[in-house]
Amino acid sequence: MHKVFGLYTGTIMSAHVSTAARTRSHALQQRAEHFFPGGVNSPVRAFRAVGGAPPFVERAQGAWLTDADGNRYIDYFGSWGPMILGHAFPPVVEAIQRAARDSASFGASTAGEADLAERVVACYPAIEKLRFVSSGTEATMSAIRLARAATGRKIIVKFEGCYHGHADGLLVKAGSGVATFGIPGSAGVPEEVAHLTLALPYNDLSVVESAFAAHPKAIAAVILEPVVGNAGCIPPAPGYLAGLRALTAREGTVFIVDEVMTGFRVALGGALELYGIDADLVTLGKIVGGGLPVGVFGGKRVLMDLLAPLGPVYQAGTLSGNPLAMAAGIATVSYLQHNAAQVYPRLEATARAVAEGVAAEAARAGVSLTLNRVGSMWTWFFTPGPVTNYDQAARSDTAAFGRFHRAMLDQGVWLPPSQFEAAFLSTAHGDAEVQATIDAARGAFETGITGYSL
Ligand SMILES: *Cc1c(COP(=O)(O)O)cnc(C)c1O
């Protein structure tokens, strides 16, 4: 068995590798299944959508993950988004170590909270005031409570395939893990709650117009992923986001842009900057915590001042604004701010090279793929496409994607383990990783997924 050896700076001594031996991972998975449902603490990690056994990670540096058997993989899921600067990025590691020496948590205010807030507000002009929470789920859940309180309305509009965390009212046609498992919403969500959520097709303004006509003065909020990542990568059609902004403004509905995935990813100022739009409330997560658990909800001052202790909307968190998490967030966001002019063009170029390079290998092998990409997030959909909404994404050949995933993993390339998850890369990915990935894809298309047909 070959392994990929090399430094995290990207030196690769063997492009064609086999990581088939995962005996320790296998044993660890069996042990984990004793304690955790499916052996995992978040469902997609179990690899059920692609088959095969999930490697257990021991450590990571830069663009590379090392599993419990010593196999190395190029990482294209980046902890599902946060690791935009690569793993164990020294300024982030040092910031966490420094903060930890002064105690991990106080449950009282620290200067670090406003330090990170100042940076967030500088990047997101739509955010005038904010609250830190500990996950994206908490951020969107709290934003919706605020929107309902502000409008005195109950109905939430979301879009098919968009995932906003696992709060009850948002688990309706929610893409990602939910789509992967074909669960219609989720068991345990009361109909009364689900009925307050309207799930509409993405990228179609006319259905939103119709919803407003059908529910006059009853829609509290419209929430969306401004670039969908949780149904695979689906960019907004030209004018779509601006159209939603205009419709919600006209209707007195709170426009919530969920940038938990896209924030600091598609641009320093997220999709709001990239597409030049405004929002009433914005949610952030993932990158803003630099790999530690942080979520943000924030926006217009008049909305945020409805929160306790100033107003009647209750929201709280024992570990909200945790000093270690703030330190990791400050180290990450300040690096991005100071280096945005280099970071984002580099991410764009690297992502373009790998995404288009693999698509070209597919085309050469006669495999029909649709590539959707916005900056450093993308998806190879195993369908001739186009993919502009969830229904079209769902036409993908997920069995073929599973074969592709397994073939890539066996050659040392770890893609997100579902057709309906966007791939990401980091500033630590370079030419060597790109070339190794394209070589692996050539091998996969030649051998690993034979039998693929549309
Ligand atoms: C990941 C994600 C969430 C949920 O964040 P968690 O921290 O996993 O709770 C919400 N919205 C979007 C767009 C996400 O990608």
The whole-angstrom separation of Cα 30 and Cα 25 is 9
pLDDT tens for each residue of 256-278? 999 999 999 999 999 999 999 99
Residue 161 Ramachandran class (φ > 0 left, ψ -120 to 50 alpha, else beta): left
Longest Cα–Cα distance of the chain, Å, equals 64
Confidence of residue 389 (pLDDT cuts 50, 70, 90): very high
Please tell me the residue having the least CA distance from ligand 1 atom 5: 136
Tokens of 355: 């995404």
Q: What is the pTM of this model?
A: 0.93
Residues with CB under 6 A from ligand 1: 135-137, 140, 163-165, 225, 229-230, 258, 260-261, 285, 295
Please tell me the residue having the least CA distance from ligand 1 atom 15: 261
- Statement: residue 178 has pLDDT above 60: no
The whole-angstrom separation of Cα 425 and Cα 433 is 10
CATH of domain 90-336: 3.40.640.10
Confidence of residue 12 (pLDDT cuts 50, 70, 90): very low
Work out whether strand 413-414 and strand 72-75 pair parallel, antiparallel, or are unpaired.
parallel
The domain 2-87+341-445 having CATH identifier 1.10.10.10: the answer here is no
Structure confidence at residue 452 (pLDDT): 44
Top mutation candidate among 41, 77, 163, 292 for ligand 1, by most atoms within 8 Å of CB: 163
Of 377, 335, 376, 43, the residue nearest 179 (C-alpha)? 43
Which atom in ligand 1 lies closest to the alpha carbon of residue 286? Answer: 7
The whole-angstrom separation of Cα 293 and Cα 139 is 12
In three state form, how does the secondary structure of 165-191 look? CCCHHHCCCCCHHHHHCCCCCCCCCCH
- Statement: residue 175 has pLDDT above 90: no
Catalytic sites, residue numbers: 163, 258, 286
pLDDT tens for each residue of 53-107? 899 999 999 999 999 999 999 999 999 999 999 999 999 999 999 999 999 999 9
Lowest mean pLDDT among 18-22, 110-114, 339-343, 426-430: 18-22
Spans of all domains in the chain: 2-87+341-445, 90-336
Structure confidence at residue 185 (pLDDT): 75
Distance 143 CA to ligand 1 centre (A): 13
CB under 8 Å to 205, separation ≥6 — which residues?
239, 240, 243, 244, 247
Top mutation candidate among 286, 292, 424 for ligand 1, by most atoms within 8 Å of CB: 286
